[in-house]
Structure 1
Amino acid sequence: MPAPILHLGATVLCSHAGQAQPLAPFPRVLVSGQPVVTLASPYAIAGCALTGSPNPPCATGQWLTGALRVLAGGTPVATQAGSSTCIPTGTPMLPLVAQVRVLAT
């Protein structure tokens, strides 16, 4: 199923409303003027609200699945329909807003 490709300016949150930003977007491919994010790019998470429990808050995140047919630099691009995980909690990242003009399968 086609889904929007994630990019540097996309709004991605951890499951506890922490802001996630890609650390290494792929600068040679742009969508809506922003570099795309591939599965190889880790995310840094800031402001995770999981602080009142004995579990540590989300610190980093990683996309596990993305596009099957669209690659950037030989690596699949991350899509809004892909699966992800936050470390150390194991909860998913939530892509809320991304560009809608370029879809990938």
Structure 2
Amino acid sequence: MMTYPRVSVGGNPIVIRSNTFSVTGCQFPAWTLGGSPPCSTASWTMAATRLFAGGDNVVLVNSQSQCTPNGTPLQIFRTQIRATGT
């Protein structure tokens, strides 16, 4: 996972909207079985509107994402709860 190391919350670096991720373990069936193509990368399409780091929007627990090539969203499994933003 790519992070923005210059800002941390609870000792962990934050994630900003421009970060792109490689996806492993995608649960979609293989393209050859007639299903959607498996996810390969993901990017954030919506993040905080008033919270920035390095000039980019900070990713929050309710941020929106999209995987390529099938358009499914990422699932956020772990967040910190000591700070909130909009």
TM-score bracket, normalised by the shorter chain, equals: 0.7 to 0.9
- Structure number with higher relative contact order (C-alpha < 8 Å, ≥ 6 residues apart): 1
Number of equivalenced pairs: 83
The separation in 2 between residues aligned to 1:34 and 1:46, in whole angstroms, is 22
Cα offset for 1:102?
1.1
List runs of 5+ in structure 1 lacking aligned partners: 1-21
Structure 2 unaligned regions, length at least 5: none
Residue of 29, 49, 57 corresponding to 2:7: 29
Match for 1:49 among 27, 33, 53?
27
Query: Of 82, 100, 104, which residue of structure 1 is paired with 2:63?
Result: 82
Deviation at 1:51, TM superposition (A): 2.6
Aligned to 1:91, the other structure's residue is in SS state coil
Indicate the structure (1 or 2) with the bigger Cα radius of gyration: 2
TM-score norm. by structure 2 comes to 0.88
With normalisation by structure 1, the TM-score equals 0.73
- Where does residue 47 of structure 2 map in the other structure? 66
Identical amino acids, percent of aligned pairs? 35
Compare the two structures and name the one with the higher strand fraction: 1
What's the CA shift for 1:43? 1.2
CA RMSD of aligned residues (A): 1.2
